[in-house]
Amino acid sequence: AQKVTQAQTEISVVEKEDVTLDCVYETRDTTYYLFWYKQPPSGELVFLIRRNSFDEQNEISGRYSWNFQKSTSSFNFTITASQVVDSAVYFCALSGPTGGGNKLTFGTGTQLKVEL
């Protein structure tokens, strides 16, 4: 069975602060994929990033960066110099190999509030 844990329910920061959202996963698959999605107040899930289990390179995209560590089964997400527009619920998700349908198992989400 697959499981994703996002222990942080809610985080509040002041604009321009850096913030890290934690994600820990469990899976028995040797091939798997990890994702982060953003859900703004409008409700639509927005895809942010996909990583596969064979690629542990960290990635940076603008103010976003991701730290994937298989040894600790973690896939953490950092926003640098946060902005009010970053306020949203962020979900970490996990899927198995393509042959298994790639259905996503989501964590419970972290509500990020960025204040002026």
Shorter beta-carbon distance to another protein: residue 42 or 71: 42
- Positions touching another protein (CB under 8 A) are 4, 33, 35, 37, 42-47, 50, 91, 93, 95, 98, 101-109
Give the nearest distance from C-beta 9 to another protein in angstroms: 9
70-96 b/e (C-beta count within 10 Å ≥ 16 → b): eeebbbbbbbeebeeebbbbbbbbbbb
Give the nearest distance from C-beta 50 to another protein in angstroms: 6
Give the nearest distance from C-beta 90 to another protein in angstroms: 10
Q: What is the dihedral of CA 91, 92, 98, 101, to 10 degrees?
A: -50
